[in-house]
Homo-oligomer: A and B are copies of this chain.
Amino acid sequence: MKIIGEKINGTRKLVAKAIAERDVAFIQNLAKKQVEGGASWLDVNAGTHPDREADDLVWLIGLVQEVTDVPLCLDSANPAALRVAMQHVKKTPMINSISGEQSRLRDILPIVAENGCEVIALCMDDKGIPATTETRIEVIRQVFEETRRAGVPDDKVFVDPLVMTIATNTEAGRTTFDTMRAIRAQFPQTHISCGLSNVSFGLPVRGLINRTFLVLALDAGMDTAIIDPNDRELQAAMRATDLLLGRDKHCLGYTRAYRAGLLENKA
């Protein structure tokens, strides 16, 4: 499994403060720690007003690239800000995100196609997030029609089936896992990605639900997760799952993580 480090996100309070105050050390520390934790991409979300977003994104990109070579995942729904940001990245970034929404397909997919980017594609359209596996697959089939027409190969697409809050719908997990299995079967070249934090909203001991979700999602075909790479319990669950699913030859990944002190809970 590969990790998109989620922490440089201006919708989080401390990050918003660091952006407002131009706190270089705070942002660069977040970048370095996530790379040490094994992130393959760093999500960068300014989370600011559209008027300021391009400037803030460029500032964040510059800082992060000073301390790491890991490619970025530019997280914005603002095509103007994305086009400015594209001028400042050293490596081709991932774009977060397109979906079946017409505005995203019209304004963001061309940026992906022109620049040869990888892209996260959310299973939703202008009517919202479909309730069933079948309707989510129908939406993602339409998205693939558009990405293929635009010349984006399936293996640059990271489908996010989306997971709803299980506290309000106990079928939410099952729907997401079933959607992952269907995507894996119908689009074998694509990647499958997911964020974890919605699923446990409103329930106690959220970390337990999140890491159990991660195990089940990996089993259902997810190969990339948008998480905090410094969450030791998620890392441990990921290593154990790779081990048990036969994806860790000679148990090397597991035993190395153990020797690096990553598997034991130090609360």
Task: Spell out A's residues near B (CB within 8 Å).
Answer: 166-167, 170-171, 173-174, 177, 199, 203-205, 208-209, 212-213, 215-216, 219, 236-237, 240-241, 243-246, 248-251, 254-255, 258, 263-265, 267
Q: Please, how many angstroms separate the alpha-carbon atoms of A170 and B236 in the complex?
A: 17
Q: How far is the CA of A204 from the CA of B236 in the complex (A)?
A: 12
Is B244 touching A167 in the complex (CB atoms < 8 A)? Answer: no
Indicate how many identical chains form the complex: 2
B203–A255 contact, CB under 8 A?
yes
| In contact, A167 and B209 (Cβ under 8 angstroms) | no
Residue on B nearest A240 in the bound complex, by CB: B212
Interface pair B173/A213, CB less than 8 Å apart:
no
A240 to B174, Cβ gap below 8 A?
no
Q: Is there contact, CB below 8 Å, between A244 and B212?
A: yes
- Chain B CB within 10 Å — which of A203, A241, A243 has the most? A243
B241→A170 contact, CB < 8 A? no
- Select which of B205, B209, B251 is within 8 A of A170 by beta carbon: B251
Assess whether A204 is in contact with B240, with CB atoms less than 8 Å apart.
Answer: no
The interface residues of chain A, by DSSP majority, are classed as: helix
A173, chain B: closest CB distance, angstroms: 4
**Chain B residues within 8 Å of A208, by CB:** 236-237, 240, 263
Docked complex Cα distance between A246 and B170 (Å): 5
Knowing A174-B246, A209-B240, A240-B209 are in contact, say whether A251-B216 is a contact too (CB < 8 A): no
For A250, the closest partner residue in chain B by CB is B170
Besides A170-B249, A171-B246, A203-B255, 17 other A-B contacts (C-beta < 8 A): A166-B251, A177-B219, A177-B245, A199-B244, A203-B251, A204-B255, A204-B263, A205-B258, A205-B263, A208-B263, A209-B240, A212-B244, A215-B215, A215-B216, A216-B241, A219-B219, A267-B267
The smallest beta-carbon distance between A243 and chain B, in angstroms, is 6
If A203-B255, A267-B267 touch, whether A209 touches B174 (CB-CB below 8 Å) is: no
Q: Report chain B residues within 8 Å CB of A174.
A: 244-246
Q: Decide if A209 touches B255 in the complex (CB within 8 Å).
A: no
A237 cross-chain contacts in B, Cβ below 8 A: 208, 212
In the complex, how many angstroms separate the beta carbon of A41 from the nearest chain B beta carbon?
25
Is the CB–CB distance between B205 and A243 below 8 Å?
no
